Amino acid sequence: MERIETDLLIVGAGSGGLSVAAGAVQMGTRVVLVERGEMGGDCLNYGCVPSKALIRSAKAAHAMRHADQYGIASVAPQVDYAAVKDHVKGVIASIAPHDSQERFEGMGVRVIRESARFVSGDEMEAGAHRIKARRIVLATGSGPFVPPIEGLSEVPYLTNETLWDLRELPRHLIVIGGGPIGMEMAQAHRRLGSEVTVLEGGTALSKDDPELSAIALDAVRGEGVRIVEGAQAARVSGTAGALTVETDDGQRFEGSHILVAVGRRANTDGLDLDVAGIETTKTGIKVDDALRTTNRKVYAIGDAAGGLQFTHVAGYHAGIVVRSAVLGLPAKAKTDHLPWATYLDPELAHVGLTEAQARERHGESAIEIARFDYEGNDRAQADRLTDGRVKVVIRKGKPVGASIVGHQAGEQISLWAFAIASGAKMRDVSSMVAPYPTYGELHKRAAGAYFSPKLFDSAAVKRVVRLVQRVLP
């Protein structure tokens, strides 16, 4: 067995692990990176990248069906599902070199393609290697959670990992789970030609502001996706191509394929965390504000840390760990400025507190709300993409949360993420000048909606203005 000593051992070559490795090695740290699966992790191979590529194909098919609104004859798209999947694989292949073993070895990282497990508080075994490290970073990501539904293990079903191997378009896709992954894949497959039914035990898109998620869900329903809320899947039966899902209230739904999308859980199996004195929670590995585990030499980042499960959060965590484990500087992870987006059409994005969260934390009277609808934006009118809204939650003149539903919401939420992270005030956003006509004007107008009642509905302001008009030369 080869014995290796290093400054930093990273387990997991997804977004977080690769970011830590790149930052650390370029600063002169000795780095060993262990990965048991594909380089690039879930995001590149099964998550963000392939799903967005599939969504883009679906959007193209949808645009062909609705070109008549722009004075161009609509046509029925001829969807080749296998070719769509080839497009997805092509996108993955174009990004893969950036995350490749060869690239990181070229940087000076020792890459070992094995499973790793703890053998002491600062040592791990990976295949024929025993690695002793000054600091260890667990960036093992997460995998699809498959609930214990009666009969599910006896029938073929899909997850976000196995969906990409499917080459024939599902005739009728039943999606169990109405969260972001389930809803994105539901709309995409409907646009590609499948019948789609979504079964959600609670409320679809429940983590987002209900006022805005309702707009997105109405749009998806309008395209023919059947969304059944309060429908907990209880039993599954049938054979390939002829499957039945029965809910706990006795409803029966028949389809050709089942996609299980009820959530994800941290990948911790096989790490032997107890050997290293590392505790876990219901959602992942227990960490403090600095992302340290109960073993002070070990950090956990990204999905493994049991918090927000987004690629950009893993990247943010990576910066925290590099600052702490490499530079020895104090660093703590925060969540209030971290945005997320659901890539439906219209998109749904959020950062900070929702209205309900803000009122619960700060009190009813301490919170103000500003809204501006897409239909008041000239670019949205020109594009005929007026189905949307910007909603900002404000406390003491500062945004503490923002939600957007509409075209490019995922792109536009960055402005509010920056405003919250930097402590900007609404007057700062109001002072911004956006080029005309752009969707960026929506945010200036939302800030204007906040100030308008204070300026135009104020008797005191009007008295002052009348006085000023009298004395002006």
Instruction: Check whether 270 is labelled as a binding-site residue.
Output: no
**pLDDT, tens digit, for every residue of 358-373?**
999 999 999 999 999 9
| Domain residue extents for the chain | 2-39+100-144+265-326, 152-262, 339-456
| Cα-based angle 345, 228, 241 (whole degrees, multiple of 5) | 90
Q: Residue 457: its pLDDT value, please?
A: 64
Q: Residue 465: its pLDDT value, please?
A: 64
**pLDDT, tens digit, for every residue of 90-120?**
999 999 999 999 999 999 999 999 999 999 9
Instruction: Check whether 293 is labelled as a binding-site residue.
Output: no
Below-70 pLDDT ranges, the chain: 454-462, 464-465
Q: Residue 259: its pLDDT value, please?
A: 98
**pLDDT, tens digit, for every residue of 233-286?**
999 999 999 999 999 999 999 999 999 999 999 999 999 999 999 999 999 999
Instruction: Check whether 16 is labelled as a binding-site residue.
Output: no
Pairing of strands 368-373, 298-300: unpaired
Cα(409)–Cα(106) distance, rounded to whole angstroms?
Answer: 37
Instruction: Check whether 182 is labelled as a binding-site residue.
Output: yes
Instruction: Check whether 263 is labelled as a binding-site residue.
Output: yes
Cα(381)–Cα(383) distance, rounded to whole angstroms?
Answer: 5
Pairing of strands 123-126, 129-138: antiparallel
Residues 6+ apart with CB under 8 A from 463: none
Q: What pTM was computed for the model?
A: 0.94
Instruction: Check whether 52 is labelled as a binding-site residue.
Output: yes
- 280: how many CB neighbours lie within 10 A of its CB? 18
Instruction: Check whether 222 is labelled as a binding-site residue.
Output: no
Q: Residue 461: its pLDDT value, please?
A: 62
Query: Does residue 149 contact residue 23 with C-beta atoms inside 8 Å?
Result: no
Phi, psi of 81 (to 5 degrees): -60, -35
Instruction: Check whether 183 is labelled as a binding-site residue.
Output: yes
Instruction: Check whether 180 is labelled as a binding-site residue.
Output: yes
Domains 2-39+100-144+265-326 and 339-456 in one fold: no
CA distances in angstroms from 296 to 137, 290, 304, listed in the order given: 11, 10, 16
Per the listing, tokens 């790793």 go with: 116
Cα(311)–Cα(12) distance, rounded to whole angstroms?
Answer: 13
Query: Does residue 260 contact residue 152 with C-beta atoms inside 8 Å?
Result: yes
Instruction: Check whether 376 is labelled as a binding-site residue.
Output: no
Q: Which two tokens stand for residue 264?
A: 């994800």
Q: Residue 6: its pLDDT value, please?
A: 98
Element (H, E) at 405: strand 398-406
Compute the mean pLDDT over every residue in the chain, rounded to the nearest whole number.
96
In one-letter notation, the amino acid at residue 53 is A
Q: Residue 27: its pLDDT value, please?
A: 96
CATH architecture of 2-39+100-144+265-326: 3-Layer(bba) Sandwich (3.50)
Cα(118)–Cα(125) distance, rounded to whole angstroms?
Answer: 6
Instruction: Check whether 141 is labelled as a binding-site residue.
Output: yes
Class of domain 339-456 (CATH, top level): alpha beta
Q: Residue 156: its pLDDT value, please?
A: 97
CATH architecture of 152-262: 3-Layer(bba) Sandwich (3.50)
Instruction: Check whether 179 is labelled as a binding-site residue.
Output: yes
